[in-house]
Amino acid sequence: MIEWLKNPAKDSLQYNKSLKTIIANNKQFFCKKHRKTTKMTK
């Protein structure tokens, strides 16, 4: 029971970290995309 209580905390930490990295990657991707579109419009 104690182990089961410990694990969700670890999982949530890992989940939050992965979520942050995914968001960061998405931001970089959109920035690159945006730069390309601005170059095309110019």
Domain boundaries, the chain: 3-34
pLDDT of residue 16: 83
In angstroms, the Cα distances linking 37 to 6, 27, 32, 41 are 47, 15, 9, 6
Q: Sign of dihedral through CA atoms 37, 40, 41, 42?
A: positive
pLDDT of residue 38: 61
Q: What is the pLDDT of residues 1-42, one digit of tens each?
A: 456 556 666 778 888 888 899 889 888 887 777 676 666 655
